[in-house]
Amino acid sequence: MQRLDQLQQWLESRFPGRRIELTPASADASFRRYFRAHIEGEPETRIVMDAPPDKEDTGPFIHVSELFGQAGAQVPHVLDRNIEAGFLLLTDLGDTTYLSALNAETAHALYADALGSLVCIQRASTPDALPEYSREKLLTEMQLFPAWYLSTHKQIELNETERKLLDKTFDKILDVNLAEPKVFVHRDFHSRNLMVTGHGAGVLDFQDAVYGPMSYDLVSLFKDAYIDWDEAFVLDMLARYWETARQIGLPVREDFADFHRDFEWMGVQRHLKVLGIFARLYHRDGKDGYLADMPRVMNYLRKACERYGELKPILRLIDRSDPIETSVGYTF
């Protein structure tokens, strides 16, 4: 039996005698699919998650939904579940993503709502509630860059000297990342996973949440792979977050310059990972929708590596993989 038929039968068993119409809501880079369910007699639509149990575990989604929801964030609530089949029935936060709503006029208000949700999540942080964002995990993510972006996507193979220098640079990045204060980390807190609702920012796709560096979700939000802003705006929003975090007792750095350096170096870790993931989605999984976003991510990476001398080995590699075209003109 096809999974969609199974899903329909499960819903019909939960709402017997009622007409149920399913329409695609979204899909992501994993094996999960989402449908919007219009159920006869129900005043509001519902979202149904289809997570094949041999590919996806619904347990983390359920756990983090409860954790973040109790913290005060607006997340989909689990209304019903069939763990064995991999089906969840969820509340519907609507279909207006931040990505579709963000513009020069809306940005301040929407990002203020997003930071409000993030602060709620961070204030609820405890060390043992989520998996640790460990050095091993952070390093494994960065290794996607040489494996998938450089080698597979750009056909660049590193020699032994380059490989050792890159590994040494990765260690420096991790030292900075892991010296940060630790909080709950969503891991994909960006414009495609935030929803515009009548009650602030709705938060989706949180099942991979961990306990780790404080600036990580700020990087996801303000160095977003799908939309970018000028640096003056980003600095302004970061300063607002930093001031609020200090006032409410979050373990933020005392000095804004230190906080901003953490943010920049965390961005390097994330963008190395994202470039590797986008390349892997294309070459391994046949998903080419992320290729158009690679230049934006590369631009973030390049700018950060230009600012810090310790990151020059990465800058040399990206100059090789993605050289900037220059032209010389003369005017008489």
Q: Residue 249 contacts by C-beta under 8 Å, 6 or more apart in sequence?
A: none
Q: What pLDDT is recorded for position 191?
A: 98
Helix 135-142, helix 160-178: angle, nearest 10: 140
Q: Where are the domains of the chain?
A: 3-91, 98-321
CA gap 193, 199 in Å, rounded: 16
CA gap 65, 204 in Å, rounded: 9
The token duo for 149 is 């972006």
CATH 3.30.200.20 fits 3-91, yes or no: yes
Radius of gyration of the CA atoms of the chain, in A:
21
Tens of pLDDT along the chain (332 residues) come to: 588 889 999 999 999 989 999 999 876 656 889 999 999 999 999 999 999 999 999 999 999 999 999 999 999 999 999 999 999 999 999 999 999 999 999 999 999 999 999 999 999 999 999 999 999 999 999 999 999 999 999 999 999 999 999 999 999 999 999 999 999 999 999 999 999 998 899 999 999 999 999 999 999 999 999 999 999 999 999 999 999 999 999 999 999 999 999 999 999 999 999 999 999 999 999 999 999 999 999 999 999 999 999 999 999 999 999 998 765 666 65
The token duo for 151 is 């080698």
Q: What is the largest CA-CA distance in the chain?
A: 82
CA gap 246, 120 in Å, rounded: 14
The residue to which tokens 């306990």 are assigned:
211
Q: What pLDDT is recorded for position 29?
A: 59
Establish whether domains 3-91 and 98-321 are of one fold.
Answer: no
CATH code of 98-321, in short, is: 3.90.1200.10
